[in-house]
């Protein structure tokens, strides 16, 4: 992890423990039949991962003084969906990767059919978690379901993945590329921030708009940094095969515009994100740390 204050590392440890406890409790035990399926689901979710999306949920909640007990629900649900997307992303029909989080991908560890089924079962599990939201502002559970389904669907992550696969070997303009990134990666990251907003009673439209923009800026920066790590990172550190984008002739920011332009765009997006937080004062400090971490991280 990059050089960020100890207070940030402490906060990460607290938030990560919270979400890991929630994920473990939400997942069926590996001894539940069918055992291979449940074992694969647990492997897909509990095999590491930075937990950036739950961290964003908790940090936004902290900024808005939302009870952490309420935030556990979207934090767990969104991480389950993220894990689902990684299992599908790694399949031979998609990016065909053998390594994820420094370990064999789910289809390598088990088999392709089990990986597809494990991912299929993670998605309804996420919505079952959302349906059990403890006491919250009226209508919040349904709003969360709508937010997260939109973020995952054909005009969100799935649509972005479709454009991404279609764009292999093609030139895209910066705005086409950023549109694809805002769907493929940005939509779920944006949903993390908005989910905490939905759990806050009586949020002003100015505060909601500022956090909405923050979510869009960090979502885009996160994917561009992911591209940079694919070029500059080492397989042992990033936990997935370095150079995989280039070998698949993927349309990425560094491939189309170069590393310098990629770094400048990341810096610009994070500067904008920090500006979006200025109205919240010290309450936004964990979000500021996370925004910086997103572009300074080494994995």
- Binding mask 73-102 toward ligand GRG (x if CB under 6 A, else -) reads --------x--xxx-xx----x------x-
Residue 77: closest CA among 91, 96, 57, 62: 57
Comparing CB distances to ligand GRG, the nearer of 136 and 290 is 290
C-alpha torsion sign, points 68, 197, 58, 45: positive
Site for ligand GRG, residues 185 to 204, rule: CB under 6 A: 185
**H helices within 154-284, ranges in order?**
157-166, 174-181, 187-198, 205-232, 235-238, 244-247, 253-257, 259-277
φ, ψ (nearest 5 deg) of residue 278: -60, -30
- 60, 294 in Cβ contact below 8 A? no
- Please, what is the minimum distance in Å from the beta carbon of residue 170 to ligand GRG? 18
List 38, 107, 184, 265, residue binding ligand GRG (CB under 6 A): 184
* Nearest distance in Å: CB 159, ligand GRG: 9
Among positive and negative, which fits the CA dihedral 229, 14, 209, 272?
negative
193, two tokens: 């921030």
Q: Does 105 bind ligand GRG (CB under 6 A)?
A: no
If binding is defined by CB under 6 A, does position 287 make contact with ligand GRG? no
Interface mask toward ligand GRG for 57-76; x: CB under 6 A: --------------------
Helix (H) or strand (E) holding 129: helix 112-131
- Residue 152 makes contact with ligand GRG by CB under 6 A: yes
Q: Which is nearer to ligand GRG, 207 or 244 (CB)?
A: 244
Q: How far apart are CA 75 and CA 63, in angstroms?
A: 15
Binds ligand GRG by CB under 6 A, chosen from 52, 121, 183, 228:
52
For binding to ligand GRG (CB under 6 A), which residues are involved? 49-50, 52, 81, 84-86, 88-89, 94, 101, 152, 157-158, 161, 184-185, 223, 226
């Amino acid at each position: 992890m990059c050089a960020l204050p100890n207070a940030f590392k402490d906060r990460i440890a607290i938030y990560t423990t919270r979400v890991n406890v929630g994920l473990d409790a939400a997942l069926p035990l590996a001894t539940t039949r069918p055992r291979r399926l449940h074992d694969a689901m647990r492997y897909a979710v509990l095999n590491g991962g930075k937990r950036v999306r739950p961290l964003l949920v908790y940090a936004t909640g902290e900024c808005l003084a939302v009870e952490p007990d309420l935030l556990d629900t979207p934090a767990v649900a969104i991480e389950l969906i993220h894990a689902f997307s990684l299992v599908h992303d790694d399949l031979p029909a998609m990016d065909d990767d053998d390594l994820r989080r420094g370990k064999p991908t789910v289809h390598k560890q088990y088999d392709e059919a089990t990986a597809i089924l494990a991912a299929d079962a993670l998605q309804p599990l996420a919505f079952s978690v959302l349906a059990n939201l403890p006491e919250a502002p009226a209508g919040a559970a349904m709003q969360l379901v709508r937010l997260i389904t939109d973020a995952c669907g054909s005009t969100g992550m799935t649509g972005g993945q479709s454009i991404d696969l279609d764009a292999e070997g093609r030139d895209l303009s910066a705005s086409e590329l950023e549109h694809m990134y805002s769907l493929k990666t940005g939509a779920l990251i944006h949903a993390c921030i908005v989910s905490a907003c939905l759990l806050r009673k009586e949020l002003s439209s100015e505060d909601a708009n500022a956090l909405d923009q923050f979510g869009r800026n960090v979502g885009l920066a996160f994917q561009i940094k992911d591209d940079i790590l694919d070029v500059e990172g080492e397989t042992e550190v990033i936990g997935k095969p370095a150079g995989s984008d280039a070998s698949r002739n993927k349309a990425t920011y560094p491939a189309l515009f170069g590393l310098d332009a990629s770094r400048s765009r990341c810096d610009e997006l994070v500067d904008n994100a920090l500006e979006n937080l200025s109205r919240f004062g010290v309450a936004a400090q964990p979000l500021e740390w996370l925004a910086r971490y997103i572009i300074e991280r080494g994995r």
